[in-house]
Amino acid sequence: MQLNEYDKMFAFENDYWWYRGLHELVESCIRMMRLGRHLTILDAGCGTGRSAQVLEPYGTVEGIDYSTAAIDHCERRGLKHCRVGDLNEWQPAADVYDVIVSLDVLCCKGIRDDREILEKFYYALRTDGVLILNLPAFSLLRRIHDAAVSIGRRYRKGHVVRELRRLGFKVIYAGYRLPLLFFIMLAKKVSEKVMGRRTIVSDLTPLPSWINRSLLAFHRLENGLINRGVRFPFGGSLFLVAEKIGGMPSASRDDIIKDTTSGESGDERLKWAY
């Protein structure tokens, strides 16, 4: 990733609609697994640390990222357990983590073998541990933004689900996110080709506050639908939740999640059934 993109991420992550909506969705998954205990969480590819910061109330959060610039930003956030490390060379201990979160990391050009990284995640998770992934979707949407943030591959749901099941995961949820964004991204790609644009820069740019608020509200509405088990047939991203199979606790066996992102009561029981 271009070094200036880390500075942009750090400046935008707290308030920008895309990051906030994704982090709130991940947080709702973490709430499902808390079950009255202190979790050990790994943010694999933690970037500038906002997702790790969001998850700190739920337990001990470790972060790993190959970029020293990213870890410098984590330290600016006051995060004490984030370190420089290459997932390609990472040799985790077995059965360490309750949750592993990896947001738009397996797709990176620097990842030599994404299947091998998934195997490491499985090995490092405890039995009944949960893996939460967000990945860019559909090769059709590859554009200049991908080059700016080092996206080397985009994914289809069926492929990732098969890989997770092959490893022994139970797939709790697999679905695309942000279907409206799919059309915007496609239009942007067409525009880049028509205009002959070559400047390598990401889509991350300042927005008027009212647009940012409106997009966040839309994102939260979508999160509420995802928490109810709705699966969109396409979207800009692919979101997956998978469990390392073993002696599953009752709440996990029922695949139950509380909806905490759409403003509704947390008492309502919501089910994901893949």
- Give per-residue pLDDT as tens, 21-59: 999 999 998 887 666 679 999 999 999 999 999 999 999
End-to-end CA distance of the chain: 34
φ and ψ of 84, to 5 deg: -75, 130
267: which 2 tokens? 């008492």
Single-letter amino acid code for the residue at 267: D
Quick one: how far is CA 217 from the chain centroid?
Answer: 19
Both structure tokens of 255: 């695949």
Decide: residue 90, CB within 10 A, 0-12 exposed, 13-18 middle, 19+ buried: middle
Q: Is the pLDDT of residue 86 over 80?
A: yes
258, 35 contact by CB (below 8 A): no
For strands 59-65 and 39-44, give the pairing.
parallel
247: confidence class by pLDDT, cuts 50, 70, 90? very low
Please state, for a pLDDT cut of 70, what percent of the chain lies above it.
Answer: 84
* Residue 78 falls in which region: left (phi positive, over 0), alpha (psi -120 to 50) or beta: left
Q: What is the mean pLDDT of residues 237-244?
A: 96
Instruction: Give the pLDDT score at 112.
Output: 94
- Return the higher-pLDDT residue of 25 and 180: 25
Alpha carbon distance 48, 63 (integer Å):
10
Calculate mean pLDDT across residues 185-201.
72
Question: Where residue 273 falls among pLDDT bands split at 50, 70, 90?
Answer: very low
pLDDT at 248 over 60: no
How far is 97 from 117, CA to CA, in rounded Å? 15
pLDDT score of 151: 82
CA distance 163 to 240: 12
> What is the C-alpha radius of gyration for the chain, rounded to an integer number of angstroms?
18
pLDDT, greater one: 249 or 81 = 81
Q: How high is the mean pLDDT of the chain? A: 84
Please tell me which of 127-136, 239-248, 265-274 the model is most confident about, judged by mean pLDDT. Answer: 127-136
